Chains A and B, each alone.
Chain A
Amino acid sequence: MGPPRVVVTLPAALVALFPGCAGRHVVAAETVAGAIAALDRAWPGLRDRVCDSSPAVRRHIRVFVGSAIAGLETPLTDGDEIVVLTAISGG
């Protein structure tokens, strides 16, 4: 049995930075960091847009697993829905 299969939904402003990238992906990963790494392999540079070098999810981005705010080390289970959101900050 491999890693859990999860669905990741990305925000439009992030997708727009990677032409051809879809807004919804199915990946196999044990943690949120692993899911983002899987997306980064397909879309090089995507991890740097979501995570800083602390390493942590960027300050004005939220990652939810289900209805709970998640961090990079949050474990995943089969069928989890990961949603990446941008904050309403701007100006």
Chain B
Amino acid sequence: MTDRVMVLLGTRKGVFILDGDPGRSAWRLRGPFCNAWPINHAIGDPATGTIYAAGGNAWFGPAVWRSDDLGETWTHSSEGLAYPAGETPVTAAWSLAIRDGTLFAGVEPAGLFSSDDGGRSWAHVAGLRQHPSRPEWQPGAGGLILHHVVPHPGDEDQIWVAISAAGVFHTQDGGASWAPRNSGTRCDFNPPEKRYPEFGQCVHALAMAAGTPERLYQQNHCGMYRTDDGGRAWHSIETGLPSSFGFPAVAHPSDPETLYLLPLNGDVSGRYVPEGKAAVWRTRDGGTQWEALRAGLPQQNAFFGVLRQAMATDTLTPTGLYFGTNTGTVYASADEGDTWTCVAEHLPAISSVETILVSA
């Protein structure tokens, strides 16, 4: 049976879906869905085809939306997606991940929830916010958000999460207790004697290498890093990149040595692509060498950024790659990033890009 790719776009004004043809050469846009709510992250469950979308509405608060018919109809729930009375309420759901039928949601202010009924109801993974460092967690520009959830694919007790700006935390007891995993990552914004704290790093993205759960890649506000021991020690891999600053980090779906980044020109320089020329950067050797992939991307007067969850691969061969800009444009590559095509434009600011394969 032929598969085709659906690209799921979370935007400031709802979910949009790009339906690709089997050759990934033609795309049809649908949306906006989810009543045009701000959606921070939309994912598809490869096992069921269900689509989930995490967001928060200024009037109506946080919710996770769900579609069982590839986006045609949607329901929403936030049952249980709340902190106890008296605590600062959850404002938005920010990130989603699924493992063996369990759905995880990261929220603002930073915390983790799980659902075993497909997002109809949620349970707080309270151990994370019981970590003694929690009173000292500080928000980044986007708020105090838990923006990446990375479950271990083979060990249900292990999960990594990324919080701006508290850093990476890891549990190996199913969420009851957590430990910071930030050794080796910098805080250039701190005084010199506090450049390498135990927590407080401004992690921007966290990605697990294919087939090697102990290898993680991290795009940070202050550098690009790799760990080969589950985050106990991080090592800089930013040499050769045009900037140490960017948001997304996307691992290749089958090659643990290949990673994609989209560096921006710096945190105080405008946060757009360097010199107004767009490029995705790729390593094929775990971060030792980097190459710029520019074919088909604008090479003059490009002043967009790409947010932390707004780049993704598909799982076809050759691997497809997709990113959405904060100016509402989507670029796609069907050849591992070698060449690019604009496949949608004039959308709201794009918060997230994910893919799911469906039968053509």
B317 interfacial contact with A, CB 8 Å: no
Minimum Cβ distance to chain B for residue A57 (Å)? 11
**What 0/1 readout, one digit per residue, does chain B (23-61) give for beta carbons within 8 Å of chain A?**
000000000000100000000000000000000001111
Q: A48-B78, A53-B82 are in contact. Are A61 and B89 (CB under 8 A)?
A: no
Contact B85 A54 (CB under 8 A): yes
Q: Is B155 an interface residue (CB 8 A)?
A: no
Does residue B87 face the partner (Cβ distance < 8 Å to A)?
yes
B12: shortest Cβ distance to chain A, in Å? 8
Q: Do B89 and A54 touch across chains, with their CB atoms under 8 A apart? A: yes
Interface set of B (CB-CB < 8 Å, partner A): 35, 58-61, 63, 76-79, 82-87, 89-90
Judged by a CB distance under 8 angstroms, whether A2 is at the interface is no
Give 19 pairs: A residue, B residue, CB < 8 Å, sorted on A. Answer: A14-B59, A14-B60, A17-B60, A17-B76, A44-B79, A45-B76, A48-B61, A48-B63, A48-B79, A48-B82, A49-B59, A49-B61, A49-B63, A52-B89, A58-B59, A60-B58, A60-B59, A87-B59, A89-B59
Task: Give the secondary structure class of A's interface.
Answer: loop
Q: Mark A75-88, 1 if CB is under 8 A from B, else 0.
A: 00000000000110
Would B86 and A61 count as touching, CB distance under 8 A? no
Q: Is A16 an interface residue when CB atoms closer than 8 A count as contact?
A: yes
For B60, the closest partner residue in chain A by CB is A49
Interface residues of A (CB under 8 A from B): 13-14, 16-17, 44-45, 48-50, 52-55, 58, 60-61, 86-87, 89-90
Give chain B nearest CB distance to A10 CB in angstroms.
12
Report Cα–Cα, A60/B76, bound state, in Å. 20
- Quick one: given A17-B35, A45-B79, A53-B83, are A89 and B90 in contact (CB under 8 Å)? no
> 9 closest A-B pairs (Cβ-Cβ)?
A52-B89, A53-B82, A49-B60, A53-B89, A86-B59, A48-B78, A60-B59, A60-B58, A89-B58
- Please, which residues of chain A bring their CB within 8 A of the CB of B85? 53-55
Contact A61/B76 with A53-B84, A53-B85, A53-B90 known, Cβ cut-off 8 Å: no
Q: Which residues of chain A come closer than 8 Å to B59, judged between CB atoms?
A: 13-14, 49, 58, 60-61, 86-87, 89
Chain A residues whose C-beta falls within 8 Å of the C-beta of B77 in the assembled complex: 45
B76 touching A58 by the CB < 8 A rule? no
CB B128 to nearest CB in A, in angstroms, measures 17
User: Which chain B positions have C-beta within 8 A of A13?
Assistant: 35, 59-60
CA distance A61 to B74 in the complex (A): 24
Which residues does chain B contribute within 8 Å of A87, judged by CB atoms? 58-59
Determine how close the nearest CB of chain A comes to the CB of B111; give it in whole angstroms: 12
- Distance (whole angstroms) from the CB of B93 to the closest CB of chain A: 12
Establish whether residues B78 and A45, one from each chain, have CB atoms under 8 Å apart when the complex forms. Answer: yes
Report chain B residues within 8 Å CB of A58: 59-61
